[in-house]
Structure 1
Amino acid sequence: MNTSQTYLTTEELSKLIKYDSRTIRERLKDSVLLEGIHYIRPFGGRKILYLWEPIQKDMKSYSASAFAIPMANGGVSNGAY
């Protein structure tokens, strides 16, 4: 099993997801990017390293569900007939 992760600085992540570094730090971190899932603080320090694989996976899953309409029974409708 390959458990390697791709660690990125805020600036490197910014280039990959086309968001400004400041937006990542001020709006995404701790709202959609969560510590322990999407980023870590190595050795308990202040530096933040983002984990690319979980971020990429969640970006795709949010995108796929963006057009889903929640139903009363707990399911979703994708708008298809």
Structure 2
Amino acid sequence: MTYMTSEQLAEKLNYTTRYVRNILTHEVLVEGRHYIRPFGRRRILYLWENIEADMFEDAVPNIPMANGEKCHG
């Protein structure tokens, strides 16, 4: 698992650190899935693999198939 600070995540996603802290952390990302607070402290560490996986999951359209199932592709 790759742990990142808000500064590192902002650089990787090409966002500002302020946007990561104020918008993504409070409105998009889920504590325990996308970030943790080690040792119950204020500092936040982001979990890159989970963030990346969810970004790609949201980016791939669900295409309905003839039998009603969904195809990710």
TM-score bracket relative to the smaller structure: 0.7 to 0.9
Give the structure with the larger helix fraction: 2
**Pair 1:43-2:1 in alignment:** no
Paired residue secondary structure (1:30):
helix
User: What is the number of equivalent residue pairs in this alignment?
Assistant: 69
Q: Hey, what does 2:9 align to over in structure 1?
A: 13
What residue ranges of structure 1 are gaps of 5+ in the alignment? 77-81
Paired residue secondary structure (1:36):
coil
What is the letter of the counterpart of residue 44 of structure 1? G
CA deviations over 1:6-55 (Å, ceiling 9, x no partner): 00000000111111111111111132111000000000000000000000
What residue ranges of structure 2 are gaps of 5+ in the alignment? none
Q: Hey, what does 2:20 align to over in structure 1?
A: 24
TM-score, normalization by structure 1? 0.73
Paired residue secondary structure (1:50):
strand
What is the letter of the counterpart of residue 11 of structure 2? K
Give the structure with the larger strand fraction: 2
Off by >3 Å, runs of 4+ in structure 1: none
Deviation at 1:75, TM superposition (A): 6.7
Q: Hey, what does 1:79 align to over in structure 2?
A: none
RMSD across aligned positions (CA): 2.2
Q: Percent identity?
A: 48
